[in-house]
Structure 1
Amino acid sequence: MSGGDEKAARKLDRQLLPENYEVARRKWAAVCHVVADHESVPAASLRFAGGGETRAGPDLIRARRFSCYLALTAAELSSHALANVSKLTRKTIREHARAVEDSRDDPAVSAELDALTAEIQLVVARREFIERRRQAMVDSVALQRPAWRPADPAYDALIAAWARAERATEAWRAMLAADNGGVEAAKPSLTPPSDQKNGEAAP
């Protein structure tokens, strides 16, 4: 095998099968939209991040770190799958995830991540339920059987995710209220001092 053929073979090994890529792509999109809404940054800046970390502001850096960490933990993507759909390198993914993991000792950050995790899992469960329901309706036409059954595992997963999201969100809100008398707390910084603007130190 020539050097060019070996390189092409290695590239193919790193790629996901089309069906696996589509599942990973949907999960990554869900993570990015939840984090982008929470952090008030453009979702496209998270989904298609391709560099510029040193030029990005602290909010965007924080959101990118959150999105990588939550893709691995909440959406249960592998770093291999995440690298495929995000175009980030696995080294960058590891660095982002480690930065967030190191911050979990802060109870506020931990509660915030729990709430985001539950919300992401709710979005993923809802989308999987809709997809399964759509497929069941297609199958029912072909097989002439009812499209809906009460004992649907996707429906059970959706309801469970909904309950987790409500509990985690309430815990997050309760912590904010307790710490700030009902006023929302400033977001804890995950940006090292060297990354912040104007030489400001991270809190």
Structure 2
Amino acid sequence: MGKIVAGLCAALALAAGRAQAATWIVTYASAGGAPLSASLTVQTADTLDAVGGLDITGVTGAVDGDAVTGLILNPGQPFAHLSADGLFIYDNVLFATGAPVFSNPGLFFSGASGSEYNLFSDNASTYELYRARSGTGYLAHSRGAVTLARAGLISTFGAGGGAVPEPAAWALTILGLGAVGAVMRRRRSLAAT
């Protein structure tokens, strides 16, 4: 019995120590102006930060064909920070309670062209996407809409989807069922003797 309890404790510690990052699929479509579109994959932490959102830890994808080269890190995470060139204020936070939205001041990332991008929400349905280059200034700006869905959900937000369990949850479930079976088997063998 002691081995079963020790195994369950080890599994719980392992599962707690390996929190899975959340992946979000983001599609931006301009209602007029450039940039016209963005297709992004955003990684976030799974735990809420000090402002009640999820810290963004990575971004990939493209904006109007310009390949995203990475997230521009926020040294004051999760609080707003001014970019080194003074063009943008950003925080790299996603709020996922209710309908998920990027914060305002938003997501800040770079492209292969040397451009910087800032995507943020004005409200739950209107977003703005800016493109700039350090030393040059603002190059383009558009307003549009964002579709934001967490990868691994059966359906997108607002459509009644449920989450798919993570591998650690499956492992704990299987270990728990195995422990219950072992205890029941031991009780049966003790009762027979």
Q: If you compute each CA radius of gyration, which structure gives the higher value, 1 or 2?
A: 2
Q: In proportion to residue count, which structure has more strand?
A: 2
Which has more helix, going by share of residues? 1
What is the TM-score when the length of structure 1 is the normalising length?
A: 0.28
